[in-house]
Amino acid sequence: MRLTLLTASAAIAACLAVSACNSSSTAPSGSAITSSGIHMTAHNGHPLWVRPAHGVKILSGISCDYSKYNFCFYVEPGNSGPYVETSDGSSPLYNAATITKSKNGKVAKKFSTYFYPDPGDPTSQYITFKGKVKKVQPVKYTDNYCIGFTPSECANGSGSELHLGIALEP
């Protein structure tokens, strides 16, 4: 029972974090964290799913700070993924992302990322880490992930933005 309450509390905190990520009036109006990702209603009324791609290792419990991140996952050097998938079932989606150091918010230069297809539905995010990892590392990076229904929404701040935690594993 206690574990269920803790899990529910973490999910509620994560849902609140999703809503707080975007201060514009087009922030997702309804959000829910499930075992398969984030389900929310986008500003245009469409249902929107953001989830780890098939086979991606997800961090859970105390390994992922749900007050900062919508969900967390491992990136493996040399494996470009895909790592995250976005879909709404009917509209082409435009995506943008910047990977930053969680500690100071500076761009993490050892990462590169792209979306394919862009636009697309579903759209997958590919991430490459150009460095060496000797042991499993905790979440140290943030994937600032934006979803828009037009090319300009992420550029002008009206897109739906999420913050995903990235940890590294060899």
25 against 46, higher pLDDT: 46
Range of the domain at 157: 2-168
102 against 160, higher pLDDT: 102
Whether the predicted pLDDT of 106 surpasses 50: yes
Burial label for 5, CB within 10 Å (0-12, 13-18, 19+), is exposed
Whether the predicted pLDDT of 14 surpasses 60: no
**What pLDDT is recorded for position 13?**
37
Per-residue pLDDT tens over the stretch 29-53: 455 655 467 877 776 677 889 999 9
Q: Count the domains in the chain.
A: 1
Distance of CA 136 to the CA centre of its chain: 20
**What pLDDT is recorded for position 102?**
95
Two tokens, residue 14: 């994560």
Per-residue pLDDT tens over the stretch 114-131: 999 999 999 999 999 999
**C-beta of residue 59 within 8 angstroms of C-beta of residue 96:** no
What mean pLDDT comes out for the span 138-159? 92
